[in-house]
Amino acid sequence: MQFCDDCGSMMKSEDGVWVCSSCGAEQARGDDEGMVTTTDQEDSEIVDTSEIDEEVGPTTDAQCPECDNDRARWELKQIRAADESETRFFTCTECGHKWREDDH
């Protein structure tokens, strides 16, 4: 990724040069060794997760509100704005009950 020296906007690669998408300034690309650029969607592969055992993942001490079991699998997801904390989702290892915890 390259940023424009003139206006600070992100530049894109066109015909061996960096071109600013805002002001049109151009810069030589130089040596791109170690840089990987992907534009071909055919190389992408869809991963089928439907047959993955759900009993994979980290566990923690968490009291299930349904069966009082003291272990649960957990995961974090960002479901609100980026400047807010993630939501913790739990699944009881005993009964499979699911619940979540939010920071207030």
pLDDT, tens digit, for every residue of 31-50? 654 455 555 555 566 766 66
**Which residues define the annotated binding site?**
4, 7, 20, 23, 64, 67, 92, 95
Annotated binding site for Zn(2+): 4, 7, 20, 23, 64, 67, 92, 95
Q: H or E stretch including 87?
A: strand 87-92
pLDDT lower than 50: segments of the chain: 33-34
CATH number of 59-101: 2.20.25.10
β 71-77/87-92 pair status? antiparallel
Q: What is the pTM of this model?
A: 0.45
Domain boundaries, the chain: 1-30, 59-101
CA distances (Å), origin 98, targets 65, 78, 91, 94, 95: 9, 17, 4, 11, 9
